[in-house]
Amino acid sequence: MAASRMDLDGRPIKPITICMIGAGGFIGSHLCEKLMSETPHKVLALDVYNDKIKHLLEPDALPWAGRIQFHRLNIKHDSRLEGLIKMADLTINLAAICTPADYNTRPLDTIYSNFIDALPVVKYCSENNKRLIHFSTCEVYGKTIQSFLPKDSPLRQDPAYYVLKEDVSPCIFGSIEKQRWSYACAKQLIERLIYAEGAENGLEFTIVRPFNWIGPRMDFIPGIDGPSEGVPRVLACFSNNLLRREPLKLVDGGQSQRTFVYIKDAIEAVLLMIENPGRANGHIFNVGNPNNEVTVRQLAEMMTKVYTKVSGESALETPTIDVSAKEFYGEGYDDSDKRIPDMTIINKQLGWNPKTSLWDLLESTLTYQHRTYAEAIKKSMAKPTSS
């Protein structure tokens, strides 16, 4: 099966070894799954955790046994990193602190994780002539130009002022005390450094800007497989509320807009980048679904409807409540107003298009959430609390 696979230019795809840093996270787990089930490539999977890829590592009888190897390490301080990058043909760096609740409360860890800790990875790839696919973020665009226009300006209708385009749009962040932007700023600087390594030293790189990829295994459910007081990204926050039958919290009224793409669609795009280096090298790619735009309030409403359908439970009388950003995230939070990816470059280079509608992706994801967590939540809620 694998030997006859062709790239986009009709050439047979040769098996390669991939050093995947952050392989134990949400995106990494889906990418490992795809690479094991549909390709002949080998993966050196690096992470501090492996819970989300355990099903790929054990038992030894799995059809891909021997093609995936887990290395438990922290890239902040581990001398094995360079050796592992040297053993591979391609490095994919996914490692990062990337939950907004951390950006303004742990700004130093956020900056170190997204910039300083990524530096050796870039350096080792450049020095050893290894290809790098680096995961950045749509947050590097910051706020849209539209958000600074007067409310009654007709220019607000013009996509030139809000659609985010890799080679045209500016990066607009808030002031320094809005520490929300520390993440985006660190990601922007590492993008610039990688770009400069390409320009000055010939590093072969691809930069990925994910636009809200969501699906099973994203983050954690507080108190079940993560800290009770932890604040994950919105999919897991709302899933947790639905599972516990409590109102979904809308930060500052839930007016911000996002486009959500199904993780399985997005992984197809990454596989195309891996297997078509000639088309992907030197490029920055938006990866998102421009057709799945909603406000956070609309997302909450849709998730409530979908969850009612997949769980068979009745809807809550009060499905949502408003909370202020300060109350929910603390001092220094700020938000991206709107995120619609322009798809021209990825379409032209890789012919990729997302397929799954928001309703469909929520249906499969919430079915997974219900199946995975409903029992555990019931048990934990039935336990008497110690006082």
Ligand X SMILES: NC(=O)c1ccc[n+]([C@@H]2O[C@H](COP(=O)([O-])OP(=O)(O)OC[C@H]3O[C@@H](n4cnc5c(N)ncnc54)[C@H](O)[C@@H]3O)[C@@H](O)[C@H]2O)c1
Residues that bind ligand UDX (CB under 6 A): 98, 100, 137-139, 212, 233-234, 237, 249-251, 254, 256, 258, 296, 335-336
Interhelix angle 80-87/119-127, rounded to 10 degrees, is: 50
Cα distance between residue 349 and residue 82, in whole Å = 31
Residues 6+ apart with CB under 8 A from 71: 44, 45, 46, 80, 84
Interface region with ligand X, contact rule CB under 6 A, candidates 92-100, 153-161, 244-252, 307-315: 92-100
User: Contact letters (x/-) for ligand X, 105-144, by CB under 6 A?
Assistant: --------x---x-----------------x-xx------
Task: Please report, as residue ranges, which positions from 302 to 361 form the binding site for ligand X (by CB under 6 A).
Answer: none
Q: Which does 250 bind (CB under 5 to 8 A by kind): ligand UDX, ligand X, none?
A: ligand UDX
For residue 238, state whether it binds ligand X (rule: CB under 6 A): no
Residue 258 contact among ligand UDX, ligand X, none, beta carbon within 5 to 8 Å by kind = ligand UDX
Q: Pick between residue 243 and residue 251 the one whose CB is nearest to ligand UDX.
A: 251
Which of ligand UDX, ligand X, none does residue 254 bind to, with CB < 5 to 8 Å depending on kind?
ligand UDX
Least distance from C-beta 229 to ligand UDX, angstroms?
Answer: 14
Distance CA 263, CA 53 (A): 15
Question: Which of helix, strand or coil describes residue 257?
Answer: strand
Cα–Cα distance for residue pair 371/375, rounded to 1 Å: 8
Q: Are strands 131-135 and 205-210 parallel, antiparallel or unpaired?
A: parallel
The smaller minimum CB distance to ligand X, of residues 94 and 243, is found at: 94
**Measured in Å, how far apart are the chain's first and last C-alpha atoms?**
60
Q: Which does 216 bind (CB under 5 to 8 A by kind): ligand X, ligand UDX, none?
A: none
Query: Within 10 A of 382 (CB to CB), how many other CB atoms are there?
Result: 7
Q: What are phi and psi of 347, to 5 degrees?
A: -65, -45
* Degrees to nearest 5, angle at CA 148 with 163 and 98: 60
112 classed as catalytic: no
* Residue 334 binding target from ligand UDX, ligand X, none, CB below 5 to 8 Å by type: none
Catalytic residue among 124, 141, 162, 183: 183
Nearest distance in Å: CB 215, ligand X: 9
Q: Rounded CA gap, 161 and 141, in Å?
A: 12
Residue-wise over 341-376: b if at least 16 C-beta within 10 A, else e?
bbbebbeebbebebebebeebbbebbbbbbebbeee
Closest approach of Cβ 210 to ligand X, in Å? 4
Q: Please choose which of ligand UDX, ligand X, none residue 358 contacts, taking the beta carbon within 5 to 8 angstroms, the exact cut-off set by kind.
A: none
CA distances from 321 to 241, 334, 335, 353 (A): 11, 19, 19, 35
Piece of the chain touching ligand X by CB under 6 A; list 3-11, 68-76, 311-319, 356-364:
68-76
Please identify which residue in 49, 87, 199, 381 interacts with ligand X, judged by CB under 6 A. 49
Task: In angstroms, give the least distance from the CB of 185 to ligand X.
Answer: 13
Residues that bind ligand X (CB under 6 A): 22, 24-28, 47-49, 74-76, 94-96, 98, 113, 117, 135, 137-138, 210, 212-213
**Residues that are catalytic:** 183
